[in-house]
Amino acid sequence: MLPSLDMLQWWSWIVCIILLVTGVYFLVKFSDLFVDASSSIAKRFHISEMIIGLTIVAFGTSFPELAVSVSDSINCLLEGGNANVAVGNVVGSNICNLLVVLGFSAIFTPILIKKTVGKKEYPILLFVTALLVIFGLCFNFKNEYAILRWEGIIFVILILLYVFYLVLDAKRMMKQGLDLEKNETIVLLPTWKSILFVIIGLIGIAVGGEAVVYGSKHIAVGIGDLAHLNHDMVESLVGLTIVAVGTSLPELVTSIVAAKKGQNDMALGNVIGSNIFNILFVLGISSTINPLIVGNQIVVDLTVMMVATLLVFGFCFIGKINRKSGILLLSCYAGYLIYLICRTVI
């Protein structure tokens, strides 16, 4: 029988839930503000919209995950403990992108996949995902699974090389006269306003990340104490589900809108780019700050992420993700959620 909660505990739960929801809202809204203001500054220096899209906007879409994972990494550095939220946020977000974002998008409108995606862009995601699995499972920290600092440095180097490759490839396509999808017209703001918005955006992202980590960790502790469950397992569950889905909301909205408009490349490209940046950029920065130690449950979570990546890779050869495939992807995610809940409570 579960113990009853007194008034103070109820208020503590309510505050933590409000912090979590508010934190996710801050992450999404202030990331947009930062990207818009940074893009305006870059445009004033006559940087092309294509370069802005491949750099500032690409990094900006990963800021919610970055804020959460860096905040948790710093907390672990100062207070000790496992980085279940930092790693679970990225792994859960990538799984959510592949199974939920693409699943919902395909249900709205079947996603047609160009052959070049399976030969060019997606193999990069496969390589990066496999590298994370190898790093996460084969190199331990004090006999515990972890993403080590030297692995994080490799991720950071790879993301810089990846962005450099994107810019060179885009310039090559422009020289060949190939059509490139342009970003929405960038609004030029007064310089003082752009700088102010950049500062406000960074502060909002930092506050939002700290609120999400604080709220999710205390919710996990509260659930663990109330139901006599392992805190690490509950923390992992919260990071892989609530936090991951919350930080993936921008990708979900963007991909569904793109799919409804028939912009199939954008719907799939958004997921591919987001997952690559999550692993290389977010985990790279977070683990460079402090090695990210996680529990044994990461073995299954990394395996699920790898299998989901391979499953979508199979659709690249078929050439489309139709509604039935979308339902399959969502069903796989539902099964994974059931597994997460069962392993936490049993």
Domain ranges of the chain: 7-345
Alpha-carbon distance of 41 to 129, in angstroms, equals: 33
Alpha-carbon distance of 111 to 120, in angstroms, equals: 18
Contact 278, 244 (CB under 8 A): no
Place of tokens 């508010």: 22
CATH for 7-345 (3.90.1560.10, 1.20.1420.30, 3.30.420.310, 3.40.50.150): 1.20.1420.30
Q: 0.75 cut: is pTM over it?
A: yes
Alpha-carbon distance of 245 to 239, in angstroms, equals: 9
Reported as half-sphere exposure (CB side, CA atoms, 13 A), residue 1 has a value of 3
pLDDT tens, position by position, for the chain (346 residues)? 445 556 666 777 788 888 888 988 887 788 778 878 887 877 777 666 556 655 666 677 677 888 888 888 998 888 887 888 889 889 999 999 999 989 988 988 888 888 878 788 899 999 999 999 999 888 777 778 889 999 999 999 999 999 888 888 777 766 766 555 554 556 778 888 888 988 898 888 878 877 877 787 777 777 777 767 776 777 778 778 878 877 777 777 777 777 776 666 667 877 888 899 999 999 999 999 999 988 888 899 999 999 999 999 999 888 889 999 999 999 999 999 999 888 888 7
Contacts for 160 with CB less than 8 Å, ≥ 6 apart: none
Residues forming a β-bridge with 292: 147
Contact 163, 58 (CB under 8 A): yes
In whole angstroms, what separates CA 298 from the centre of its chain? 16
Number of residues that make up the chain: 346
Output the pLDDT for position 178: 55
Output the pLDDT for position 285: 95
